Structure 1
Amino acid sequence: MADTQSSAPLRAHADAPASGVIHVRTRHTANFTVLSNRLAQRAGSAVTVGVAAYILSLPDGASIRIDALCAHFKEGRARISAALNELEAEGWLERRVERGPGGRIVTRTFVYDAPGATERDVPRPAEAPAARDVAEPEPGPAPKPEPGPKAGPKAGPKAGAAPDPRAAAVLGSLRHRDRRLVLSERETVALAPAVEEWLDRGVGPQEIAEALTSGLPDRIDRRPARLLAYRLAALRPPASGAVPTAPHPMPFQDCDGCDRVFRAPRPGRCRDCRDSAAGPSPLAA
């Protein structure tokens, strides 16, 4: 009688579990990405984890527009957009609307390998060589210096200098209007000259606080000082002392269709994408 043959190994490894997954690991020396278990084991949508892992594997500067992600994955725009929104809500991804070279509004996307981390040595658009080239005047004869003090914005604060008490009081009152606007001592010193300039132009402390806190977005950058610095510069009143207009009540949004920046109360698509999806009007025929 023939012996019974079996395809099972003669004996299992002593440290192997009796059931469940058994890892066969390989040491990688190139072309690999480190993911935290918090992300890899995230409960919920597998699409969200996959999109996050793919984005983290890309080099800096790679496009992660919805069109580019849809070209890589089989999922449609709605699921990719929902995954990006989930990652942004949990702190893995951050989209900032900033003023780039030439005053153009641009959206910069920051991806974090751990929520709560800070970007390290990331250059801003205005620091790029192209931005400096745009700001440089055309070559020509240098004008003769005029006597007397030069009109213009005040110089930045010196290291260790105390801020103007009036400006510091205005900045300190912002946290009572919005608890997210808590500034450090260093940020207060940096913002105080701009606030002092508003005061010198005849704008009262209450009007300044109203201009800085009206219509704030639902989600504020981890560093609110950047938002306040932008508003102080963009809404600076004229020398006549006219009160600046309040900022637009609608926050900036990223279009889910073309990534264009537009104002709307909630995320979605811009007017051009909505009109394109609706098709031609029947009256056009």
Structure 2
Amino acid sequence: MATQHDIALTDALTGIPGPLPPSGVIHIAFPHANRFTIVGNHLAQHDGLSLAAIGIGVHIQSLPAGSRVGIKALTARFAEGETTIAAALRELETHGYLHRTRTRLANGRVVTRTVFCNQPDALLRGGEAVPPMRVTVPPGRVAVPPVRVTVPPVRVTVPPVRVTVPPVRVAVPPVRVAEPAAPVPVLPPVVPAPAPVPPPAPEPTPVPEAAHPLVRVPSRIAPTQPRRPLPQPRELTPELHRAASALLADLRRHAPELVLSEGDVEELAPGAAAWLERGAHPDAIRHALTTELPQPPKYPAKIVRHRLAVLLPPPLPGPQELAPARRAPVTPFQTCEGCDRVFRSPDPGHCRDCRAQYWEAA
């Protein structure tokens, strides 16, 4: 297959008139008979739209009226996530290609009406006709010659049909008055009229095909985890609250990005107090809150809140948890006085078998 494509490509390049450009793209264009959409260069080469926005704009323009072009429908059709597709739709809406309005129906239901305009400039001019543009092909581009289709005339020859009528003999009984028999007319041969030549069938009108079936692509957006609550101390004493507030207000000396407001310090003070209540050293808390910060941190208070909730250390174990576990007493070994067998027993004596023999003898 690759060899056939290479041969066809070489033949197509040979038929291009004029010298080929030394670099850049070379166009080989054939006229479309069906399944095509006219897209303006103002959209395909827009310098203010991203590649995703241009691709989604071309896709929406190729769909028939009534197709669903919401974020969910486009996410199910393409591999891009909802964030990328939503940003591309906002770009198209900013540059006037897409218009989304909320409309209330007669039954009271509110729906979103989406309108796509292929030429926003013409819409701003009030819909006036745009004069035809003269397209000049510079040297080096591919010029597609017009395709001429010649249909040869169809000749239908109908052979003549010869009909032979046999002679009819009529026997007339004798009568008294002899009258000459009337001659039987002989019908001429019936020749059917030539069949009319059917007119050439008209060229089929290109019918746009149905929209591509939606392919369900799994979404790349992971479900958001619930945010952990800010830890709270068992008893927030004034001394503990004062130490936690001072620790949070002092963070900007060690990390200039973590500038917290008075409201943030007041809100996050119980979380830092929970760390201090569990025996965490202030230097350890400061290191956990200021190490490996994102650059630049957009929301310092949210970063501190998240780390206070996620990196909370467990409470210090007490003396009872740190005490070594007591071992269970071990039964010592004894030697049987009758058979010298070793067995476990708290007291010396006889083993199980010897005791059984003595009981039977007794």
> TM-score, normalising length from structure 1?
0.38
Larger radius of gyration: 2
